[in-house]
Structure 1
Amino acid sequence: MNQKSGTALAPLVLIVTLFFLWGVANNLNDVLMPHLRKAFFLSDFQSSLVQSAFYLGYFFLALPAGWVIQRHGYKVTVLVGLVTFGIGALMFYPAAELLQYGWFLTALFVIAAGLAFLETSANPLITVLGEPSRAEQRLNLAQAFNPLGAITGVLVGREFILSGVEPTQAELAAMSQAQLTAFQTAEAQSVQTPYLIVAAVVLVWAALVAITKFPPQAQAPAPDDPDQLSMRQSIAALATRRHFIFGVVAQFFYVGAQVGVWSFMIRYAQAEVPGMGEKTAAGYLTASLVCFMIGRFVGTALMSRFSPTRLMASFAAINICLTLIAAFAGGSPGLYALVATSLFMSIMFPTIFANSLRELGPLTKAASSFLVMAIIGGAVLTAIMGMVSDASAINYAILVPTVCFAVIGWFAWSAGRLPAPALQPMPAVAH
């Protein structure tokens, strides 16, 4: 191993670990939604605002993150993201003390703002560290560590946030105001310790990144770099790339499907299987994340033999069938089908991301910002699912992800019909 490759090992480990850390944050939300719904007596739509606040943070901060990458490089962007993430996690303590749902939503927005910086920088950095023709496979492998964080987040939430105390409407009505306040306080404050630990880990990781020497790909571009483009120039150029625009749309619908399925998994399980407690229902969410992790590794291996886009098209078709079973069969079969969708969702985000960045050259960083902005689909479509559930039933809300998988399948089919590109290495720096 030469010196250059040796010095890149520590930064690589630090960056790959980010996929784990934001997996923890993202999937703690899937436990927070039913937990805060119970603690603050919320409707399905009101509880879906957990995801809306979270993914709005991605939407509003993705472009500023791209600007920071262009001006200061990947390392500075990662540091900004980690510190912001840590501050948001610390905000859960006063939110619980104040018993204010709005403060929880604000804290989630700040956490997501930090994650927008992390994802905008880490995803394209992974794609440029190797052969361009294997970008999808490499990013899928890196993202395979994300479900490990997701599973950890759900297990932490299940054991340390969900109390298992689930009073009926009649029992709540029989409580005095003091008893109701005590119940709400206990439920709200159960989030404090887990989020304080998350904050401590994230801020320690920021310190490690700060003292670690990163390779040239992570630094700011040289002032005389001929490939530099302004953000305005980049946006104008990207507006003419039809495949990239379709990729942003597909990413919007993918994230909406993933977040919606996982966010309402516990709610669906309890509604479709009478008598199921919240901790048991959370076990099905954990099982779905295990399927997701298995799918990442299996999908990455299959990409050595099959086209990534054709594989994604097949997986999208399977998920259309599974979500229709969940919507119309219901009960235990519907729940098992909903869990199984995660196995086939596994390759979609990184495959859409990497495929959308093909042949963009100096536009890669700005393009990455828009692909991260597309994560707003988790806010919009999860809220729509909440409204459908309130207006009808939770099983019919699963038809929203059905539509999402149809769009993803269309993107994969259209991408598969494009001529195989003669890819050039994506530059790690671009203005």
Structure 2
Amino acid sequence: MEVSTERARVAAEDAPSTTHVGALGVVTTLFFMWGFLTCLNDILIPHLKNVFDLGYAEGALVQFSFFSAYFLMSLPSGKIVARIGYKRGLLLGLGTAGVGALLFYPAASLPSYPFFLAALFVVATGITVLQVTANPYVTVLGPPATASSRLNLTQAFNSLGTTVAPYFGGRFILGVVEEATDPLAKAHAVRLPYVCLALTLFVLATALAFIKLPTITSVEGEEAKHGTFRDALANRQLRLAALGIFLYVGAEVSIGSFLVNFFALPSIAGLAEADAAKYVSIFWAGAMVGRFIGSAVLRKLEPGRVLGYCAIAAALLVGATLVLDGHVAMWTILAVGVFNSIMFPTIFTLGVSGLGKLTSQGSSILVMSIVGGAILPVAFGWLADRIGVHHAFILPALCYLYILHFGWRGSRPAATAAAAA
């Protein structure tokens, strides 16, 4: 996105504080919706796995189709938003996601697994536009020193969406499937929920069209030509943050994607899928609570240190899950959600810190790194097909070790890190 964050910050800080609060409220609603849509994939995977008789790796193509849109569409989205502005970018994102949700109706009517994957890609394209627009927009709606806290606060409502989605999916998708005997009826279970979601997205877009948001001004003239993505990638801190986002999203999505299957194992809890989905909500609820707490903690403590401690706790909990069985293993993996909470927004703000006029390019690169949610779940599924879901959790455990390194070393400016070493 060719948008100057410094100029944008001046424009935003000149606006009345009440406008900032109202704008944050509007954007926070969008964070909720894309969290809801993203987490509903955790229910789609076991559902489509049963409908089409898929292996774990094939089922993980749900996440591959969804999160690959972040990589493929992030740069085009940034360029489009730079031309049409932040508000129209939000409207475009909502409309695109709504169209993708509507495509679930013909995909289920056929039924066709490739059609489902295509529909998911369209939904994710809309969410990518929202991500590229909303994340940097939140960072400039107030003082730079509290940007990480603000983004954590809005991400907390994103986690509210991820908390509600598994319960919704368990009740209206997996619950319907358990009562159905006809394979076609099982496939049709997603039609009504996704049509309702499409209508909700269109209603939100219509309401947003009539709401006035603070103007984020674009840079004009030569300044817009000075920063490139290559310039942004020359920043070591941004490169390390991009890898951190890749591994964090990959770890979190891998865990969430297979919790239903994990809880269904006789050696863990032996739950029916609809019942297991309710426990997935607890995983995401932990992230929501953690983000509300983290929003306050990060106003007082150094973000990199807090990130490192959370990564240690997550790695230990996943490690405990690997060696334990029964309900204890179930609760140790659920507790990981609490410590996932502050990771994405903290890595994001640390990655773009100090980029100046390259912040928009850096933001797009970090959003592209969400492609980890496409690749690592497939790798997790490949492992699960060979060594079982339980032992495949070794993959996210390794990811958290890198995030520990980034928080305590990689997130520091190069000069500071060299002095510390």
Both proteins in one fold, TM over 0.5: yes
**Corresponding residue for residue 88 of structure 2:** 76
Q: Are positions 1:236 and 2:230 aligned together?
A: yes
**Residue 163 (structure 1) shift:** 2.6
Contact between 2:237 and 2:411, CA under 8 Å: does it hold in 1?
no
Q: CA 1:195 to 1:240, structure 2 compared with 1: closer, same or farther past 3 Å? A: same
Contact between 1:164 and 1:277, CA under 8 Å: does it hold in 2?
no
* CA distances 1:50-103 after superposition (whole Å, capped 9, x unpaired): 000000111111111111122222112111111110000000000000110111
SS of the residue corresponding to residue 163 of structure 1 reads helix
**Corresponding residue for residue 185 of structure 2:** 186
Aligned counterpart for 1:132 among listed residues 144, 150, 169 = 144
**Corresponding residue for residue 241 of structure 2:** 247
Contact between 1:154 and 1:285, CA under 8 Å: does it hold in 2?
yes
Which residue identity is paired with 1:204? V
Whole-Å separation in 2 of the counterparts to 1:164 and 1:210: 36
Aligned counterpart for 1:278 among listed residues 273, 277, 301 = 273
**Corresponding residue for residue 390 of structure 1:** 385
Aligned counterpart for 1:30 among listed residues 34, 42, 60 = 42
Whole-Å separation in 2 of the counterparts to 1:239 and 1:420: 17
**Residue 332 (structure 1) shift:** 1.8
Q: CA 1:205 to 1:321, structure 2 compared with 1: closer, same or farther past 3 Å? A: same
Contact between 1:389 and 1:396, CA under 8 Å: does it hold in 2?
yes
SS of the residue corresponding to residue 276 of structure 1 reads coil
Whole-Å separation in 1 of the counterparts to 2:132 and 2:198: 20
Q: CA 1:116 to 1:3, structure 2 compared with 1: closer, same or farther past 3 Å? A: closer
Q: Are positions 1:287 and 2:282 aligned together?
A: yes
Which residue identity is paired with 2:55? S
Aligned pairs, number: 402
**Residue 305 (structure 1) shift:** 2.8
Matches within 5 A, 1:96-111: 96-111=108-123
**Residue 183 (structure 1) shift:** 2.3
Q: CA 1:257 to 1:6, structure 2 compared with 1: closer, same or farther past 3 Å? A: same
**Residue 417 (structure 1) shift:** 4.6
**Residue 321 (structure 1) shift:** 0.9
Whole-Å separation in 1 of the counterparts to 2:260 and 2:34: 21
**Residue 130 (structure 1) shift:** 1.0
**Residue 45 (structure 1) shift:** 0.6
**Residue 404 (structure 1) shift:** 0.7
**Corresponding residue for residue 130 of structure 2:** 118
SS of the residue corresponding to residue 259 of structure 1 reads helix
Whole-Å separation in 2 of the counterparts to 1:370 and 1:334: 36
Whole-Å separation in 1 of the counterparts to 2:176 and 2:310: 35
- State the TM-score, normalized to the length of structure 2: 0.91
Q: Are positions 1:400 and 2:399 aligned together?
A: no
Which residue identity is paired with 1:228? A
**Corresponding residue for residue 210 of structure 2:** 211
**Residue 184 (structure 1) shift:** 1.7
Q: Are positions 1:162 and 2:156 aligned together?
A: no
**Corresponding residue for residue 427 of structure 1:** none
**Residue 259 (structure 1) shift:** 0.3
Which residue identity is paired with 1:229? K
Whole-Å separation in 2 of the counterparts to 1:154 and 1:43: 21
Mean Cα deviation higher: 412-421 or 268-277: 412-421
**Residue 252 (structure 1) shift:** 0.1
Q: CA 1:416 to 1:77, structure 2 compared with 1: closer, same or farther past 3 Å? A: closer
Whole-Å separation in 2 of the counterparts to 1:229 and 1:327: 50
- State the TM-score, normalized to the length of structure 1: 0.89
Which residue identity is paired with 1:114? G
Q: CA 1:3 to 1:55, structure 2 compared with 1: closer, same or farther past 3 Å? A: closer
Contact between 2:31 and 2:158, CA under 8 Å: does it hold in 1?
yes
Taking every aligned residue pair, what percent have the same amino acid on both sides? 37
Q: Are positions 1:260 and 2:259 aligned together?
A: no
**Corresponding residue for residue 94 of structure 1:** 106
Contact between 1:250 and 1:408, CA under 8 Å: does it hold in 2?
yes
Structure 1: which 5+ runs fail to align?
A: 168-178, 422-431
Whole-Å separation in 2 of the counterparts to 1:36 and 1:3: 48
Q: CA 1:208 to 1:274, structure 2 compared with 1: closer, same or farther past 3 Å? A: closer
Structure 2: which 5+ runs fail to align?
A: 1-13, 417-421
Contact between 1:52 and 1:378, CA under 8 Å: does it hold in 2?
yes
**Corresponding residue for residue 337 of structure 2:** 342
Contact between 2:20 and 2:141, CA under 8 Å: does it hold in 1?
no
**Residue 223 (structure 1) shift:** 3.1
Which residue identity is paired with 1:198? L
Q: CA 1:47 to 1:79, structure 2 compared with 1: closer, same or farther past 3 Å? A: same
SS of the residue corresponding to residue 306 of structure 1 reads coil
**Corresponding residue for residue 220 of structure 2:** 223
Which residue identity is paired with 1:408? I
Which residue identity is paired with 1:227? E
